[in-house]
Structure 1
Amino acid sequence: MSAAQPFSALESRDHTLDACFLGPYGENDALLERLIVEFLRDHVYWRRNFHPEDPPAIATGAAQHPDYLAFESRMRRELHLLSAALKKSVPFHSPRYIGHMASDLLLPGLAAQILTLPYNPNNVSEDAAPVTVDMEVQVGLQLARMLGYPHDPVQPACAFGHLTSGGTLANYQALRLALALKAFPVALRAARVPQLELPPDDWSAFNLSHADGIAVLEAWQTWLAAQPPTERAHWLKRVDDERVEQRGLVGFFAAHPQLRVPLVLAPVTAHYSWSKGLKLLGLGRDQLELLPTRGMRLDPSALRGTLERCVRIRQPVLMCVAVLGSTEYGTIDPIDEVLAARTEAQAHGLGFSVHVDAAWGGYLATLFRNENGTLRRREEVATEYVQFPTPAVHAAFAALGDTDSATVDPHKLGYLPYGTGAFICRDHRAMALLAERADYVFHTSTPSDYLARYRSLGQFIPEGSKAGAAAAAAYVTHKVLPLDHRHFGRLPRATIRAAEAFYARAQRFALDLADCVHALVPFAPDSNLVCLALNPRGNTSLAGANAFVGALHDTLRCDPGQPLQLKEFFGSVTSLRPEELGLVETARILNALGLDLATLNHDGENRRLLILRHTLMNPYLIDHENGISYIDRYFEFLGRRVQSLTVTDASRPTLIRKAGIG
């Protein structure tokens, strides 16, 4: 894309967005206030109309009692102190904030969450949340439709999803489900269940495809249901005693010594929650094998080579993780290639799950989804942008529906309050393997109806208690803004356009300041996250470049010790590491920045390159109402900071000492 290419032809004011948020200037305060007051009063009326014959428990004169007044005074004081302290918070709402994955909150979700909080539903089961637990199950179906998973509860292979505290817990759930499904056929063989067609050996049983594993589970459930009650209880216990959930990893693999503990394959760009998850499940960090990338996107040839090795040495694989929008760079892995590699491995007897960590990029799928749920053609999507989506990006989103599970974070590109992550699996039938029996909370029957089954939500999820208000926020938001390109897609569309404008402006910035700084976008953006690498002219050491970017970041990071208004913009940093980049990419980037590869210290402090990271979530970065581009303003600000950290003499630029370089 040319740095000089105009964006005016693509940009137009979207008045729907005007009503979506409280607004950078609090423009919609009256709307939010009306909603809160209206539904607070409605909640009070609900309380008063529940047995209105009961007298008020708090006397009308209580508000004049000295103890009441003293309590009110203390409460007001602490709330005022809290309000004052919160003024030091990071201004996520402002288009001047382009740091981490946070932005303003959508009004439908914010209002729905505030409205629901006084009811305080606990989505562990319908007994504690008769309304919001259904909403949570519906949110799972809404997200499944967005991803291209089957989403009709009448169909046996319908998807299932639930909310979590964040993407980390959703990733844990993916690991739990994959391990349960992978190990279950082995448990059936060990229990010697009669009349079932099972694989001939443990290796084959441990390496069934996802669909074949579910077929074995269904065959077992059908057989079990046909047994007399006494026999049913006997065989249920016998199989449960052989399951990995009962034996534990040590006991399970000791009972099946021909099996190795399975690997989890993920790109080096994967979130650190995968390391935490393997530790938490007891699989161990050694079982996480990080694969190299090309341009910070998983390298399919490296994946194929690893799978060939696993087939050769009979090393099981639990799961391959593909990242749909990496946390650091927003890059998108070739999900279609991962699925193709899985098909090839399955032909050689190596089966495993494919999980998509779409915590960041999940809601970008709305850009590719028609109102009727079908996939949009790349050519149709591309008419709205300069470069997005590349053929590789479109192919990745088109392949989402064939994966086994996904993580999506509504509290990121869904613009909902923390913590609202989500886990979605393509076929809900496998969830039976995660069910926990707890008769004091859950009904003992197993209803066939999809919604009735998952009203006992706590049986299937890692949490015990969980907030129903978060489910209400997500459900209402998705109803107001359905998850397709004509509705919710308006939000990511605005931010992708902003990312393209940012990318073009970064190229112009590099040309305008070429006499004093090397500037480079190391990877063309796949999504709405753009990084910028910088190195002052004349500097060749990695230590010097990192000190320079560190000095720039000092003016962009949150500083609670200073008044908020002193900050012009908020940004973040990340690092490029040779072990992630590979030698070719490392050399390309360092050479483009004028850095000497020999200054890269693989064992010391300067074994990474510090770069600026910009998350472009705010839909008002280009303010059409006032003719303001905060992207232009940011680069003007950055230019001033760069020039203040460098001075030029007759021979070459020299770095000012306060930057820590010289």
Structure 2
Amino acid sequence: MPQLPLHHVFHPAHADHYAATLGEGLDHLLRQLKGVSGPATGMPPHRAAAQVAEVDLDQPLADATQVLDEMSRLWLDDAVWFHEPSYAAHLNCPVVVPALLAELFVASVNSSLDTFDQSVGGTFIERRLIAWTAERIGYDEGGDPDGVFTSGGSQSNLQALLLARGRHEQVPAERLRILASAESHFSVQKSARLLGLGDESVVSVPTDERHRMDPVALERSLAACVDLGLRPMAIVATAGTTDFGAIDPLDEIADLAVAYDAWLHVDAAYGGGLLVSPTRRDRLRGIERADSVTVDFHKTFFQPVSSSAIVVRDRATLRPATWHADYLNPREATNPNQVDKSLQTTRRFDALKLWVTLRTMGPDLVGRYVDAVIDLATEVYAAHRDEVDLAFAAAPELSTLVFRYVPPGPALDERASAALANAIREELYASGRAMIAATKVDGVQHLKLTLLNPMATVEDITGVLGLVRAAGARLAPAHQRQTLEVAR
């Protein structure tokens, strides 16, 4: 029988091969990094798809050099770089170096965090980080908080609503209602579908002028549910909405959750970084009253994807996520495990990234990074809010800025204004010089800057706005002519 080439397997006997391959990969990455001159290259989808489709996966390449060259051609050459100051599109952050160091060990050792006998100390590192996060949330020392790392905010929100559903197992699904603001994350609606509750189970609560859930409207909605014989299963408050970074009035919402015996979940996927802010922690006042909290460390803790957690005030409430398997976590098992708390079975040791970050940088420095991006948004808004061709939808709450480009001359109708906004965004991406996002406010198309780079400066973001204005000035006349033609 021919001998297998086993040098590809991670093993002490193959350490030299591993080191050489890793070294070649690191050199390749650093060369690429040093050549980056913008957040993107403007690669269109059809070309990216065509390049990948041409690869014959049944025919391996000769060596790592060829593989790395092909990888660059298919992906890395045109990758989106979140560390670039002119990247201001989605909630993607540049990552800190200690977390990248941890990734080396996470991937190489490949621990699975479902059971103790697959992770040993990893089990307790994750548990300590959950306990630390619970302390930062403000859960009482005399309580019994717990939680688990997840793949992201969507999974954390899903699990929170599963736990809320577990309190009402005898209530028919069609009678259960989830109340969330009109600006809550779409994963709330998606979770309702996955839990078999249906789209109608999510009640959209109006927001105030700061895009926060309106407690008066929430109380009306809760009372209306009860009058109709419906059961308010959960209230989802948001600490950092995706578009405006708005933080719902948590204390007032918590009062209503108590009054109506509803599970209170706080989605702090974006705003969770305030837990370590040296100056703005008070913005999360009331979060300690939640039954569960989502925190995305891969947003405002500057961790690589994926790194999120759901934290609960009472570990007993995690039981709806528990299922026992004789081969994995039998009821009589005495060793601790994390699979009893998780929607996942096999699960990466993503907690190590946060652990190494905290042990290297400390939470105060991470919090100062959070403050830096909030300060940046505030300063950019102050510098440009009076510009006649930029109409901001609101002052920033965290680190997003939502605005429209308003060209001089004839006013645009709604369709032309939306088309112009999309054209500006597309032109910026195609140029490779900047990336921005888009959203709608009351049905009207807007542009959005999402600022999560603590290295970016006011001058950097002013430069991005300058590109928006220049593109808008070039593109606007055609859209204005279209508006005039329609008006005739």
TM-score where L is the length of structure 2: 0.82
Taking the aligned partners of 1:263 and 1:496, their CA distance within structure 2 comes to 34
Aligned partner of residue 133 in structure 1, secondary structure: helix
Are 2:55 and 1:140 equivalent residues in the alignment? Answer: no
Q: Where does residue 347 of structure 2 map in the other structure?
A: 466
CA contact (8 A) 1:330 1:530 kept: no
Q: Please state how far the C-alpha of 1:333 moved relative to its aligned partner.
A: 1.1
Taking the aligned partners of 2:79 and 2:480, their CA distance within structure 1 comes to 28
CA contact (8 A) 1:547 1:661 kept: no
Q: Where does residue 242 of structure 2 map in the other structure?
A: 327
Taking the aligned partners of 1:530 and 1:659, their CA distance within structure 2 comes to 29
Q: Where does residue 106 of structure 1 map in the other structure?
A: 96
Are 2:471 and 1:615 equivalent residues in the alignment? Answer: no
Q: Where does residue 297 of structure 1 map in the other structure?
A: 212
Alignment of 1:238-257 (within 5 A): 244=169, 252-253=170-171
CA contact (8 A) 1:506 1:635 kept: no
CA contact (8 A) 1:139 1:161 kept: no
Taking the aligned partners of 2:366 and 2:89, their CA distance within structure 1 comes to 23
Q: Please state how far the C-alpha of 1:658 moved relative to its aligned partner.
A: 9.6
Taking the aligned partners of 1:316 and 1:124, their CA distance within structure 2 comes to 34
Taking the aligned partners of 2:415 and 2:118, their CA distance within structure 1 comes to 57
* Aligned CA distance change for structure 1 residues 644 and 129 (closer, same or farther; 3 Å): same
CA contact (8 A) 1:291 1:299 kept: yes
Q: Where does residue 644 of structure 1 map in the other structure?
A: 474
Are 2:417 and 1:530 equivalent residues in the alignment? Answer: no
Q: Please state how far the C-alpha of 1:114 moved relative to its aligned partner.
A: 1.3
What are the Cα deviations for residues 419-454 of structure 1, in whole angstroms up to 9, with x where unaligned?
22211111112223432111211254366xxxx6xx
What are the Cα deviations for residues 280-329 of structure 1, in whole angstroms up to 9, with x where unaligned?
11111111111111132111110011122233344211100011111122
* Aligned CA distance change for structure 1 residues 480 and 263 (closer, same or farther; 3 Å): same
Taking the aligned partners of 1:630 and 1:108, their CA distance within structure 2 comes to 26
Q: Please state how far the C-alpha of 1:572 moved relative to its aligned partner.
A: 0.9
Q: Where does residue 475 of structure 1 map in the other structure?
A: 355
Aligned partner of residue 294 in structure 1, secondary structure: coil
Alignment of 1:104-503 (within 5 A): 104-150=94-140, 155=142, 157-180=143-166, 182-183=167-168, 244=169, 252-253=170-171, 261-295=175-209, 296-343=211-258, 346=259, 350-367=260-277, 381=279, 394=282, 396-445=283-332, 455-468=336-349, 470-483=350-363, 486-503=364-381
Are 2:428 and 1:556 equivalent residues in the alignment? Answer: yes
What are the Cα deviations for residues 365-404 of structure 1, in whole angstroms up to 9, with x where unaligned?
2226xxxxxxxxxxxx3xxxxxxx6xxx94x511111111
Are 2:435 and 1:570 equivalent residues in the alignment? Answer: yes
Percent identity between the aligned chains? Answer: 25
Taking the aligned partners of 1:91 and 1:411, their CA distance within structure 2 comes to 15
Q: Please state how far the C-alpha of 1:359 moved relative to its aligned partner.
A: 0.9
Q: Please state how far the C-alpha of 1:535 moved relative to its aligned partner.
A: 2.8
Taking the aligned partners of 1:621 and 1:269, their CA distance within structure 2 comes to 27
RMSD (CA atoms):
2.7
Taking the aligned partners of 1:570 and 1:465, their CA distance within structure 2 comes to 35
Aligned partner of residue 417 in structure 2, secondary structure: helix
Taking the aligned partners of 1:551 and 1:293, their CA distance within structure 2 comes to 30
Aligned partner of residue 163 in structure 1, secondary structure: strand
Aligned partner of residue 487 in structure 1, secondary structure: helix
Residue type matched to 2:347 in 1? K
Larger radius of gyration: 1
Residue type matched to 2:438 in 1? V
What are the Cα deviations for residues 83-117 of structure 1, in whole angstroms up to 9, with x where unaligned?
23312011211111111111211111111111231
Residue type matched to 1:441 in 2? L
CA contact (8 A) 2:184 2:241 kept: yes
Aligned partner of residue 118 in structure 2, secondary structure: coil
Aligned partner of residue 425 in structure 2, secondary structure: helix
- The structure 2 residue matched to 1:81, chosen from 58, 70, 78, is 70
What 5-or-longer segments of structure 1 have no aligned partner? 1-43, 49-55, 64-69, 184-243, 245-251, 369-380, 382-388, 560-565, 578-607, 623-627, 647-654
Residue type matched to 1:569 in 2? A
Residue type matched to 2:414 in 1? L
Q: Please state how far the C-alpha of 1:57 moved relative to its aligned partner.
A: 8.6
CA contact (8 A) 2:412 2:480 kept: no
Residue type matched to 2:339 in 1? G
CA contact (8 A) 2:175 2:231 kept: yes
Are 2:405 and 1:539 equivalent residues in the alignment? Answer: no
Q: Please state how far the C-alpha of 1:361 moved relative to its aligned partner.
A: 0.9
Q: Where does residue 27 of structure 2 map in the other structure?
A: none
What are the Cα deviations for residues 464-487 of structure 1, in whole angstroms up to 9, with x where unaligned?
11111x12112222333443xx33
What 5-or-longer segments of structure 2 have no aligned partner? 1-9, 21-58
Taking the aligned partners of 1:413 and 1:661, their CA distance within structure 2 comes to 41
Aligned partner of residue 546 in structure 1, secondary structure: helix
* Aligned CA distance change for structure 1 residues 94 and 59 (closer, same or farther; 3 Å): closer
Q: Please state how far the C-alpha of 1:540 moved relative to its aligned partner.
A: 4.4
CA contact (8 A) 1:536 1:548 kept: no
Q: Please state how far the C-alpha of 1:176 moved relative to its aligned partner.
A: 1.3
Taking the aligned partners of 1:130 and 1:124, their CA distance within structure 2 comes to 10
Taking the aligned partners of 2:294 and 2:14, their CA distance within structure 1 comes to 46
Aligned partner of residue 299 in structure 2, secondary structure: coil
CA contact (8 A) 1:435 1:459 kept: yes
Q: Please state how far the C-alpha of 1:534 moved relative to its aligned partner.
A: 2.6
Q: Where does residue 41 of structure 2 map in the other structure?
A: none
CA contact (8 A) 1:556 1:572 kept: no
Aligned partner of residue 293 in structure 1, secondary structure: coil
CA contact (8 A) 2:295 2:309 kept: yes
CA contact (8 A) 1:645 1:659 kept: no
* Aligned CA distance change for structure 1 residues 59 and 360 (closer, same or farther; 3 Å): closer
* Aligned CA distance change for structure 1 residues 281 and 76 (closer, same or farther; 3 Å): same
CA contact (8 A) 2:416 2:480 kept: no
* Aligned CA distance change for structure 1 residues 494 and 100 (closer, same or farther; 3 Å): same
CA contact (8 A) 2:192 2:202 kept: yes
Residue type matched to 1:534 in 2? Y
Taking the aligned partners of 1:461 and 1:439, their CA distance within structure 2 comes to 17
Residue type matched to 1:492 in 2? V
What are the Cα deviations for residues 554-592 of structure 1, in whole angstroms up to 9, with x where unaligned?
1233x4xxxxxx422111111112xxxxxxxxxxxxxxx
CA contact (8 A) 1:271 1:327 kept: yes
